[in-house]
Amino acid sequence: MRRDIFQAIADPTRRAIITLIALQPMTPNAIADNFNTTRQSVSKHLRILTECELVKQEQKGREIYYSLEIEKMKEIDKWLNKFRKIWEARFNQLDKVLLTIKKPKK
């Protein structure tokens, strides 16, 4: 199943993780230290974020560091902009349709 990015960022813990690693790459243990949940739960969140390609992993020595894929975050916005354009086009059409309906009655 395809992961939904909206779903990924809908979770408060995952949003907090994003905020943390936006500053610097971090290991899962260092991330988990910031939360009152289990490491397993943090790993699960990291896995979801990884599946959505919002974070990337990098091996440094024996540790894995997680960092934020800023481009991916930007991509979401670009994407939403396309959706906005659809609405814009639709409404521009409606403007004209409203004009045509109005006129004959006068």
Binding site for another protein (CB under 8 A): 2, 4-7, 9-10, 15, 76, 79-80, 82-103
Nearer to another protein, 47 or 85 (CB): 85
CA–CA separation, 21 and 56 (whole Å)? 10
Which residue type, as a one-letter code, is found at position 88? E
Min dist. Cβ of residue 63 to another protein (A): 30
CA distance 17 to 67: 10
| Contact status, residue 18 vs residue 54, Cβ threshold 8 Å | yes
Which lies closer to another protein via its Cβ, residue 30 or residue 73?
Answer: 73
Q: Which is nearer to another protein, 64 or 76 (CB)?
A: 76
